[in-house]
Structure 1
Amino acid sequence: MANELEAGFTGSPVEKPEGIRKVASDTASAIKREANAVAVGVTDHPQAASSLILGIGAAAFGIGYLLGRSSVSTRNRYWR
């Protein structure tokens, strides 16, 4: 009798996802597509990708440096 029992899910869901589940599914598939596109672009143009990353890093460093310099007081304070 135990051999006759066949239980388990072997098909696809009957109901399509709705509401927030559909939005989450669509968002996940869009992120996967974009990540794949970026990976293909980096594979096709490695020099351009590394130059872009270095440029963004240099710009971020420069902005951080300027913000750090502007937060320092320019007046000299001495204890008397």
Structure 2
Amino acid sequence: MVDKQDLHAGFTGTPVEQPEGVAKVAQSAASGVKSEVYAVTAGARSHPHTASALLTIGILAFGFGYLLGRSSVESSTYSYWR
């Protein structure tokens, strides 16, 4: 049987080695993204009407750009290959 004092398993919450290279960059990027998401959500909570208006405008602009892009590709593809 294993003595409980000899058992050193489990996650303590702090890594032994600090991240280096790609891991450090990824951790820094994740931290930055989390802080920006928090700032956006705090702003949306403070100004719900402005947030909904911006979301609606963004959806409409995306749809308009998508339709323009599709019509441009369909008309130019066939004339190019002739």
TM-score, normalised relative to structure 2: 0.68
Q: Which residue of 2 is the match for residue 18 of structure 1?
A: 20
* Unmatched runs of 5 consecutive residues or more in structure 2: 76-82
Percentage identity across aligned positions?
38
How far, CA to CA, are the matches of 1:6 and 1:66 in structure 2? 65
Highest CA radius of gyration, 1 or 2?
A: 1
- Deviation of 1:14 after TM superposition, in Å, equals 3.6
* Unmatched runs of 5 consecutive residues or more in structure 1: 73-80
User: Number of residues paired by the alignment?
Assistant: 73
How far, CA to CA, are the matches of 1:20 and 1:66 in structure 2? 39
Rate the CA distance shift 1:43–1:5 in 2: closer, same or farther, 3 A. Answer: same
Q: Which residue of 2 is the match for residue 78 of structure 1?
A: none
RMSD (Å) for aligned C-alpha atoms = 2.5
Structure showing the higher helix proportion among its residues:
2
TM-score, normalised relative to structure 1: 0.69
